Amino acid sequence: MEEKDITNDEAKHEAGTEEANAAEEKPENDNNEVEAKDKQEETAKEAEEIAELKASLEKTTKEKEEFYERLLRLQAEFDNYKKRTLKEKQADQKYKAQELVTALLPVLDNFERALQVKATEETKSLLDGITMVYRQFLDALKEQGVSVIESVGKEFDPNFHHAVMQAEVEDKPSNTVIEELQKGYMLKDRVIRPAMVKVNK
Among 24, 34, 75, 181, contact with its own copies (rule: CB under 8 A): 75
In the complex, the smallest distance separating the C-beta of residue 197 from its own copies, rounded to whole angstroms, is 24
| DSSP H helical ranges for the chain | 2-94, 98-115, 124-143
* Residues 120-159 interacting with its own copies (rule: CB under 8 A): 120, 122-123, 126-127, 129-130, 132-133, 136-137, 140-141, 143-144
**Amino acid identity for residue 81 in this structure:** Y
Question: What span, in angstroms and rounded, lies between the C-alpha atoms of 97 and 168?
Answer: 39
Interface residue with its own copies, options 93, 158, 168, 171 (CB under 8 A): 93
Cβ-based nearer residue to its own copies, 82 or 201? 82
The residue among 115 and 167 lying less far from its own copies, judged by its C-beta, is: 115
Rounded Cα–Cα distance for residues 155 and 163 (Å): 12
- Measured between its terminal Cα atoms, the distance across the chain in Å is 155
Site residues for its own copies, 156-195, by CB under 8 A, read: none
Q: How is the beta sheet containing 185-187 ordered, strand by strand?
A: 146-148, 185-187, 190-193
Binders of its own copies among 21-60, rule CB under 8 A? Answer: 21-22, 25, 32, 39, 42-43, 46-47, 49-50, 53-54, 56-57, 60
Find the DSSP H helices in 95-185.
98-115, 124-143
Does residue 107 touch its own copies according to CB under 8 A? yes
Angle ∠(124,126,127) on CA atoms, nearest 5 = 65
